[in-house]
Amino acid sequence: MSKNGRENAGTTTPAFNPTLPFFSVTGKTAVITGGARGLGLAMSKAIPKVTAHYADVSAKSDVDSAIAEILGQHSQITNLVTCAGFCENCDAIDFQPERVKRMLGVNVEGTYYFATGVAKHMMECQISGNMVFIGSISGSIVNVPQPQALYNASKAAVRHLAASLAVEWANKDIRVNCLSPGYMLTEIAMDAQILVDNPGLKAEWESKIPQGKMGAPEELMGTVAFLSSDASRYITGQEIKVDGGYTVC
């Protein structure tokens, strides 16, 4: 004790535990669906080493074969990012049954098949797993003026599927979160017929975004890396919106 009755501070320097290593994805094996183009291609750039595998995500047999092929090459899967999906702008009363089946097959069933297939492997091998489903702000708001009711519904399903599986698999040490982008500058989005037919629509969208611009796909990489890393290990069942502030207005 010091003369003034206060205990002197110890002379031992506490161990410094840097934060940055928690954000690393080194040593992880991630499956990224839809990685050939658009947002999926941008996501794949957040992973140090990439190999390509083909699968129709809406066909369970294709998904199972792709997972087996990946495991044969990489031995284990620690992370899943589901980017495969598409949007069509069409009045609901004109949407053809085969397109309904295709959209729900890719956007919802594809997410479900890959998630459950990868989760089965994680459980069998007792791997601490991590999944990020790519949703959309369209899963929680109604976009104006473009008609896309079925797409919005499919992304709402993806968002709630993430929350439901997060709870179901929490005791298996598998985390599931949803990343929901806003308006993004992908080639697919910019080539959409609705923008061809409405040249001023992009400016209208951007006028409603507080940051005043559409996002670049690369601006999602940091959030994907964060959710895929140990830095977010106490986050599960959540939706993170990356939209330039669009949905808070």
- Structure-token pair, residue 76: 């284990």
pLDDT of residue 12: 53
Please give the pLDDT value at position 50.
60
**Active-site residue, 3 included:** no
How many residues does this entry show for the chain? Answer: 249
Please confirm, yes or no, whether 61 is among the known catalytic residues. no
pLDDT exceeds cutoff 80 at 36:
no
Helix (H) or strand (E) holding 63: helix 60-74
Least confident span in 1-5, 28-32, 98-102, 130-134? 1-5
Instruction: Name the residue ranges covered by the structural domains of the chain.
Output: 24-244
Query: Roughly what angle, to the nearest 10 degrees, separates helices 110-124 and 60-74?
Result: 40
Catalytic residue among 44, 112, 113, 151: 151
Is 151 part of the annotated catalytic residue set?
A: yes
The predicted structure's pLDDT at residue 1: 42
pLDDT at 2: 42
At 249, the pLDDT band (50, 70, 90 cuts) reads confident
Q: Please, are residues 230 and 22 in contact by the beta-carbon 8 Å criterion?
A: yes
The pLDDT of residue 20: 63
Reported as a pLDDT band with limits 50, 70 and 90, residue 14 is low
pLDDT score recorded for residue 15: 59
Check residue 7 and give its pLDDT.
44
Helix 97-104 and helix 149-169: axis angle, to 10°? 30
CA distance 128 to 153: 30
Average model confidence (pLDDT) for the chain?
Answer: 89
CA distance 249 to 100: 31
What is the reported pLDDT for 16? 55
Percent of the chain, pLDDT > 90? 71
Query: Tell me, what's the pLDDT at 6?
Result: 46
Judged against a pLDDT cut of 50, whether residue 9 lies above it is answered with no
Copy the structure tokens of residue 176: 């599931």
Output phi, psi for 106, to 5 deg.
Answer: -75, -50
Helix, coil or strand: residue 147: coil
Distance CA 110, CA 128 (A): 22
The active-site residue, picked from 113, 138, 155, 246, is 155
CATH class of 24-244: alpha beta
Catalytic residue among 136, 138, 229, 232: 136
Mean pLDDT in residue range 53-69? 94
* Largest pairwise CA distance in the chain: 86
* Neighbour count for residue 217 (Cβ, 10 Å): 19
**Is residue 137's pLDDT more than 70?**
yes
**Residue (of 173, 230, 228) closest to 48 by Cα position:** 228
pLDDT tens-digit series, residues 184-233: 998 778 888 889 889 999 999 999 999 999 999 999 989 998 999 999 99
- The model's pTM is 0.88
Angle at 220 between CA 79 and CA 213, to 5 degrees: 165
pLDDT at 3 over 50: no
pLDDT of residue 17: 63
Residue 146: pLDDT above 60?
yes
